[in-house]
Structure 1
């Protein structure tokens, strides 16, 4: 039996075993070494490791049914225009669910229409970001086979498709700064590494994958007003959605949007401190994470540490993006999925992420020691192509 077939059988034994209870410890061990790109192994493993599904298989059907129905409710209440639900049930304003106190021109704080129009502030940034998701692959520009019916079949009703609601405007600095995130305008450039491309929206009746991701991020921002949407979240949700929407099992793929939303929400529950300015200095904050990386580098290779220190090449110049976005912008998407297999399976989660980041620096030891400041900034902000397994194997040795 080949090594690949052996690994497939190991996943089958864990995920399709006759017993009801999944051995999560064994699943973590297998996933840490990479998930084979067959069947629904990765999508299912991520759902389990992120806590969307519980370890008892008998609970999966009810959990999925309940969560998917809840997400449909989110779409109806948060995405569709006010008054959509009963539209057509009568001719008067009240029968359409829009009272005199909630006229489209109302500016009252309780007005659903007022909220509807004010959403444009963060929807503008979401729209801009998702239109350039993973430009190195065509996936996000392609139509999904499972568009949201109540959105795409709008019969000319404006406002159901989020991209139609975006009012073109010059983006002010307040929009691109980290909302509650402590990111300066200069640091924004550290996040938007990839080339800017604007994907086109589909015609009525169809949706591109990026439009689905836009809706996921919009709903998340609406449900988390204290945090809202922060630039870079699109790079976190993108790989998760790709995995769910590429599931070979069509019965799962049909619900990729809802399943992705809850997996993304679960992951954001763990990394949300990275995106909140007031928690930058907390134990789970981004400054603490960068300090842990610096301390590990100092312990593993004092020469590199001193070189970067003498050049005043501070961790925020490169590792801020690495850590905040879980390396999603440093490598091609297939490599990102492989990295996330290991990160999600790590019980201490971000310990291994820090080890991967440290390995990325150590692997470039010779170049870093020879380079000047400018060359090292370029090297670390545009990490050279490499076999990702070399980085992961090196990271394992740092334990």
Structure 2
């Protein structure tokens, strides 16, 4: 007989009082598997339709990402937050602790504030304004060198050996390397082409959208070349998309023109923390994705033992069937684009770190639908968790904040 913890009782009271009305479930699928396949087949299968939120992305983009429907950007509290952000970001030396406190509750989506704040929170921009120009010049020059050295075009290479030709199988053949790179680029191209199909920025046929896709492909390709032990893994495009989008849409035209190198280095920073989740060789290690899933299960058991027992022992719904994608893709497939961005604001600024914040949010997602899960069987719960119902990100963050206050991460 399991017993629900006092904290779970408290969270449920908050949940019942604040739960937003869940929108009707749409008919499109997100790669639902009634008969679970292997860990990676289940979790990283992203259909060309991408997600259930695709149809609302264009509409969500007209409001602040993550803001409740009907929220006014002209309210006194909203203007006050914008002023505080402008003051912090405008100082000669940015106080990162103060920036984290502000960003934890969401970054205003105007005047390039999110682009600048993310670059600071991810350690790409130095807090001291006087150091930024030199750092940016160095980083952007390094990225340009990566492009020149790693993107091979054998037809333009000087000093090629005379015997090097398109059919050469030699290990030092530029042509051979070019064709191997082309195979990887084809995989990257397929994923980039289906990135957020409901958002014209990524999927349009005009010149701007084509440029955006080409720059994203270069970023992912260069990352793969610099990390031969990991290379490109399906789904990395989803982690790049929010970074590149906000950097490219920066109102600072000079900064926007360098979105490609800036997004590359910020993407590298994110992957450096979560790269073990992408490495199949580490799946069963103490640092791989299974270890992360074990931590998630332990946290759920601590917070809500009744729900944990129901899912783990009665239903036997292993977290790998649904939470692999949640964790590996940082929730970009479970929420609309604007709401995922809002979650990232908190994740990047959480003093406990991105990993702990991500796990709390995942547990909050489970607690948010505990009533449905407790009444569901294996098939119903697997379907519900693999196709998480649309919900306001703030409802999830409120529960996650309760978890943080309770010091529940172990």
> Could you state the TM-score of these two structures normalised by the residue count of structure 1?
0.78
Shift of 1:98: 2.2
Shift of 1:145: 7.2
Pairing 1:287–2:290 present: yes
Shift of 1:278: 3.0
Query: Could you report, residue by residue, the CA deviation over 1:24-78 in whole angstroms, capped at 9, with x for unpaired residues?
Result: 1111111111000011111111111111112221111111112112212222222
Pairing 1:32–2:104 present: yes
Q: Distance in 2 between matches of 1:144 and 1:13?
A: 37
Matches within 5 A, 1:298-337: 298-309=301-312, 310-337=314-341
Q: Distance in 1 between matches of 2:183 and 2:204?
A: 27
Q: Distance in 2 between matches of 1:7 and 1:319?
A: 34
Long gaps (5+) in structure 1: 86-95, 147-201
> Could you state the TM-score of these two structures normalised by the residue count of structure 2?
0.76
Long gaps (5+) in structure 2: 1-74, 405-410
Q: Which is further off, 279-288 or 365-374?
A: 279-288
Look up the match of 1:61.
Answer: 133
Look up the match of 1:5.
Answer: 79
Report the secondary structure of 2:273's partner residue: helix
Look up the match of 1:128.
Answer: 190
Query: Could you report, residue by residue, the CA deviation over 1:247-299 in whole angstroms, capped at 9, with x for unpaired residues?
Result: 12111111111111111011111111111123334454211211111111111
Shift of 1:219: 1.0
Q: Distance in 2 between matches of 1:6 and 1:289?
A: 38
Look up the match of 1:116.
Answer: 178
Pairing 1:251–2:254 present: yes
Look up the match of 2:18.
Answer: none
Report the secondary structure of 2:166's partner residue: coil
Look up the match of 2:9.
Answer: none
RMSD of the TM alignment (CA)?
1.8
Matches within 5 A, 1:1-399: 2-17=76-91, 19=92, 21-84=93-156, 96-142=158-204, 207-309=210-312, 310-347=314-351, 348-399=353-404
Report the secondary structure of 1:307's partner residue: helix
Q: From the superposition, tell whether residues 284 and 59 of structure 1 become closer, same or farther in structure 2 (CA, over 3 Å).
A: farther
Q: From the superposition, tell whether residues 387 and 135 of structure 1 become closer, same or farther in structure 2 (CA, over 3 Å).
A: same
Between 1 and 2, higher relative CO (CA 8 Å, sep ≥ 6) is seen in: 2
Q: Distance in 2 between matches of 1:370 and 1:241?
A: 41
Q: Distance in 1 between matches of 2:82 and 2:206?
A: 28
Report the secondary structure of 2:156's partner residue: coil
Q: Distance in 1 between matches of 2:255 and 2:205?
A: 17
Q: Distance in 1 between matches of 2:281 and 2:170?
A: 31
How many residues of Structure 1 are paired with residues of Structure 2 in the alignment?
A: 328
Query: Could you report, residue by residue, the CA deviation over 1:164-215 in whole angstroms, capped at 9, with x for unpaired residues?
Result: xxxxxxxxxxxxxxxxxxxxxxxxxxxxxxxxxxxxxx8xxxx342222111
Query: Could you report, residue by residue, the CA deviation over 1:328-360 in whole angstroms, capped at 9, with x for unpaired residues?
Result: 100010001000011111232211111110010
Q: Distance in 2 between matches of 1:53 and 1:284?
A: 29
Shift of 1:83: 4.9
Report the secondary structure of 2:154's partner residue: coil
Report the secondary structure of 2:134's partner residue: helix
